[in-house]
Chains A and B, each alone.
Chain A
Amino acid sequence: MTTSATPQVESGPLASIRGWILLYAIEMRIAILSQIQYRVSNYFYMIGMVAEPVIYLVVWSTVARQQGGEVGGFTPGAFAAYYIVWTLVRNMNIALTPWAWEERVRGGELGAMLLHPVHPIHTDLAGLAGWKAVVILLWLPIAAFLSLIFQPTFSVDALDVVVFLVAIWGAYVLRSMFLWLLGLVTFWTTRVAPVFNIFFTAELLLSGRLVPMSLMPDWAQRLADYLPFQWTFSFPIEALIGRLPPEQLLGGLAMQVLWIAIGATLVGLSWRLAVRRFGAVGG
């Protein structure tokens, strides 16, 4: 796919910012226009995606009801709120799958990517951001349906909403960085499946994707504090359902910024090494 979003040759910092906005706007528009054509396919994906939190929700509300209405500080209504917000957060934090790199390296797509005047991660970030616009549109009726059935209980104030709106994009960028980094493993080995699987399993257990972190054993919670995962699932979800005091809301955003910075640095370094390696293989 060629996208000619090369910024116009102007000078000055303003022109360069305009160039970046243009690049993102064009990539997003292309993604929206192409994804909107595959509504059926996108709906299949949505239903498959929604099945996961619904299963967790049913299991944990059953446990809560059996334990007298509450488990780990969550009532069935609170679980419903958690897992319904989960569906939106999940859609938002979907980033380029590391599996895509296999095709990129083998299929030669990478050669074209290298010719772009900007770092290829921007194309990926912008393209998936456009897809999200389509997905959110499809998500709205599903969220309404789930809310009707599972009766979530929220207590939200304005700060929660503002932090949430920032945090879902923070989660997206943060997760993109680490999945991109993971994808680059493809440059060093062709047996990527075990690496990817271990990563995704760790993420599943230590991010709040499977259960709210407060239901995990203490040691797992402490371990999670040293990893980026919980800032991409648990944090945005708990921000919106009103479980976090203001200092934790802002602290969480700060943690996202920190991890994005770490991720971006690592991406920058590894990408340079990876490209050098690719050149060596391709002759």
Chain B
Amino acid sequence: MGTQLQPVQGRDLLRPIRLFALFFRIGALNELQYRANLAVQLLESGISLATGLAVLGLVFGQTTNLGGWSEAELLAVMGVHILMGGVIRTAIQPNMERLMTDVRQGTLDFVLTKPEDSQVLISVREFRIWQAVDIVVGAIVLAIAIGQLEGAIGLGAALLFGATLILGAVMIYCFWLLLTTAAFWIVRMDEIHELFDGVYQSGRWPVTIYPGWLRISLTYLVPIAFAVTVPAEALTSRLTVETLVLAAAFTVALLLVTRWFWRFGLRNYSGASS
């Protein structure tokens, strides 16, 4: 089967966004049928928030700062971490898991035969809206942390925070898609989200506390530093221009590599029916 199907696309730049909105609506309608899951999710987020606060309490019971970060600043890091975790589990991870299943079962063929850009399609098909509870919880934690921080957050810092957060989310998306595309070669990847969840926990602390080799891996190998620490740096007036430029450049580079790797993977994919 030919997988080189180039979709008829024209120059409609809004098309991916419209697709996104459409699938988001379907996903939301689907999940709204299971409202009790909201209660389950609330409880789950509550437990994990309580655990996080307990750990912070334990650490700051022994010390007044951790690698130069105060308790309020670490609370801000935790807020960003929870919020980004919510974004990942609402929009990124579900799509990637579905892609993995599709590759394994051969149902990816149904996506490839649609007259849309395949990368866009596989990235917007699944949303778990109840997971967005974590986005809200993260925002609340963040707001409390900001209230405790010394000095008000200016408009500039807020804008920088928003920008770095979006860059971070895009990088995590690219990272996930790069890994998932490997499913074209390595079929059984069930443990991959365990791997990601495990590594993602490192973002609960500013990456500056990790030893050099680990810090570099958590920056360029798994872009957790960009996704969590850098936005938190923007809020605590630690962000330098160099870091910001680096984050933007790295995002563009990752997007290009991911695009190329996705197409390369597709060329290697022979479909289930052939």
Contact = CB atoms under 8 A, between A and B. Distances in A.
B62 A71 contact: yes
A55 B62 contact: no
B268 interface: no
Given A63-B63, A201-B51, A44 B209 contact: no
Contacts of A191: 36, 40
Contact of A51 (B51, B67, B201): B201
Nearest to A205: B54
Contacts of B199: 47-48, 51
Interface in B191-237: 191-192, 194-199, 201-202, 204-205, 209-211, 213-214
A117 interface: no
Contacts of B242: none
Most chain B CB within 10 A, of A63, A66, A201, is at: A63
Interface string A126-165: 0000000000000000000000010000000000000000
B241 interface: no
Contact of A194 (B44, B191, B196): B44
B188 interface: yes
A68 B82 CA distance: 32
B36 to A, nearest CB: 8
A40 B63 CA distance: 40
Contact of A48 (B65, B191, B213): B191
Contacts of A216: 58
Contacts of A55: 201-202, 204-205
B245 interface: no
Contact of B209 (A41, A62, A193): A62
B190 A41 contact: yes
B47 interface: yes
A116 B57 CA distance: 49
A253 interface: no
Nearest to B43: A194
A41 B183 CA distance: 11
Contacts of A67: 62-63
A38 interface: yes
A273 interface: no
B59 A41 contact: no
Contact of A52 (B43, B67, B198): B198
B191 A204 contact: no
B27 to A, nearest CB: 20
Interface in A45-89: 45, 47-52, 54-55, 58-60, 62-63, 66-67, 71-72
Given A41-B188, A191-B40, A205-B54, A51 B198 contact: yes
B195 A48 contact: yes
A14 interface: no
A59 B205 contact: yes
Interface residues of A, number: 37
Contacts of B51: 201, 204-205
Interface in B165-199: 186, 188-192, 194-199
B194 A44 contact: yes
Contacts of A205: 51, 54
A3 interface: no
Contacts of B43: 194, 197
B66 interface: yes
B47 A201 contact: yes
A181 interface: no
Nearest to A51: B198
Given A55-B201, A215-B58, A44 B195 contact: yes
B22 interface: no
Contacts of B202: 51, 54-55
A211 interface: yes
Nearest to B197: A48
A263 B214 CA distance: 40
Nearest to A72: B62
A177 interface: no
B144 interface: no
B55 interface: yes
Nearest to A71: B62
Contacts of A40: 186, 188-189
A63 B202 CA distance: 16
Contacts of A38: 188
A32 interface: no
Interface in B35-89: 36, 40, 43-44, 47-48, 50-51, 54-55, 58-59, 61-63, 65-67
Given A42-B191, A194-B40, 6 more contacts: A48-B195, A48-B197, A62-B209, A63-B62, A72-B62, A205-B54
28 contacts: A40-B186, A41-B188, A41-B191, A42-B191, A44-B189, A44-B192, A45-B195, A47-B198, A48-B191, A48-B196, A48-B197, A48-B199, A51-B198, A51-B201, A51-B202, A54-B214, A55-B201, A58-B210, A59-B59, A62-B66, A66-B63, A194-B40, A197-B44, A197-B47, A201-B47, A201-B50, A216-B58, A217-B61
Closest 8 CB pairs of A and B: A48-B198, A48-B195, A51-B198, A44-B191, A45-B191, A44-B195, A48-B194, A51-B199
